[in-house]
Chain A
Amino acid sequence: MLGHVILISAQVNSRSGVSLLESVTFGAFSEVQRTSSSGFSSVRNVWNRYVRLRHVEAENASIKRELDDVKVQLQERRALADRARGLQTLLDLRDRSNLRTTAAEIIASSASPDFRTLTIDKGTLYGLQSDMAVIAPGGVVGRIVIPTLRASKVQLLIDRNAAIGALIERSRAQGVAMGSGDPRLRLEYVSETADVVVGDLVVTSGIDGIFPKGFTIGSVDAVEKSGPSYKRITIKPAVDFSSLEEVLVVLTPTPIHQAEEPKHQGEEPKHQAEEPKHQAETPPKRQVETPRRQAEAPKPQAEAPKPQAEAPKPQAEAPKPQAEEPKPQAEGPEGGRE
């Protein structure tokens, strides 16, 4: 009887066309499979998650070590990337300025907090000389005061003995930016009629014969007037001296060096020929030397304003010697501004 029922059922198809017997058998067996699979999975999970985890602790420790190594490497790469970015900025400045420069790394700072100097890792071995300008992407840093074979001491702009020929970019008013030992600079010997307002950009004038013309010194931070004359003009330097890591030393001879070494004049006749206007503006050597003396020896300070005030005179009166002088100012990044 049962055999009949099974036989008849085996020939009956389900709605999907599959034999009812096959369908029931498969349905029933699939549940068995499901149960066995579930049991096997459980056993496998127990095996994998507990029994086989005996070595995981060691593996985990190893991975952690690797992760730590990778983290250190990442930091190293990040530091390298930062350094590369800094060097890229210096390279950009180098390309932009069209000056012959060499990059140097800062290896130490001043031995006394009263004086603001830095030590760079290049010296006379790399062609560095005393009174060479040191610049950074932000602006002017200072000048070399003591070059040795493999290192040089750089006097920062903010050193109390430092001075630099300065120019208000907007009004072209000239003066001398002087360090005072604190983070701000003072702008001295500015004409009473000069137009100076807070926020004005102060750039190098180039008349000191050390710094190329047109490099940023900083911006006017405060202007105090007493009567018609300026009582005090302070400049906030563009460069953050405490975070400097690399700098560029300008190897291109300055007007004084060029005057002393006439050979260099012939090397760059193109610039001179291109911008004769600037040549005419070059002050005679006597004027050029004055701020330099200020920078080196603080004593003749009282004499300093004289040539500054006299500055325009010889320019107008004696164009001949000016025309004879080479013009490195044309090489500056903003040489063509005037």
Chain B
Amino acid sequence: MNDKSKNNRAADLVSDSAIVEVKASLTAARGLRDALTSLAITLAEQQQKRGYLLLLDPGLSKTFLETELQRLKVALRPGIAERLHLVAAKGGKLTEGTHAIPQDDYMLLRRALNRQEDQRTGLPAPNKQNEVFLLMIHQWVTGKGPMTSKWLEDTVGCHYRTVANAIDQLGHAVQRHSDRSVSFKYFPEQDWGRLLAVAQKTRATMLYADASDQPRSPESLLRRMKSLNRKDIAVGGVLGTKRYYNELDIVGTPRLDLCIHCPDNRVDLGFVHMLDPALERTRDTHRPARLAIHFVRRQDALFDRDQNGAQWADPVECLLELYHARLDQQARSFQEFLSARGRELSGKS
């Protein structure tokens, strides 16, 4: 899979049998002709594939689109013309041109559409000062000791002033060392509470619910996740927390929480369909989510790879995800555990 220009929000998806090119909000005949011609050239080079131009919310009539497609097909070699297709989507649904296309191609189109929808939703810009704060908490609860501003800059991927401002805001909780490195004196409860208050909005977590009436368990989704062998995804939430804190008081696993490392704020969510074709994005917080996807934006994800090849989110990320899942009691218990461990490891207990 590869991307095209970010500016026109177009993207390609490619499978063994098909190519999908996407054009959003096309309103001019010239743009349509250019896109169809470009796809026809690609099909001439890739003779085994079918090509689909997917138009998102086109500002051109169905009749016009069909006429333009047929006009171009007349000018093309039959071997290319018969593989060239035009599909339209409106309001996030495929509406035209999907008649009698192979199921795999249909699913590819849906993936392309979903991806566009996700990209349109977009990830809000991360709050880099919060990222600095979370990183410092991580170093404290894992006993990694003092850190330099440069290390914070590089690990978060931010300007030194952002680091300086973040540290200043933390005030007395921060201990400044003679070598200009910093660390926490104690777990900064007040600042942590402030971060939690805005976390639901700023983290841009995406929730997926089951549409099959036969929901797969988080464990099943996790097994399938592992088989994808993605280096940029780690397990967090309840399952991740249990790795650090086996006294977590919870029966079963309500959902699978996954963290995707996306330091450039761009994300490919095509894998969700591979975990389960029944998963559909929901913004309804009352609907039970089977999958939650969180985004780790710093440069270093701090994922931990175990001996079985599984990747795990860091403990602070897991803690945030417990709160996000409204498992407040379990989250507070884990927070106390981490806080006590931080005090112990820093020699301040």
Q: Do A and B come from one complex?
A: no
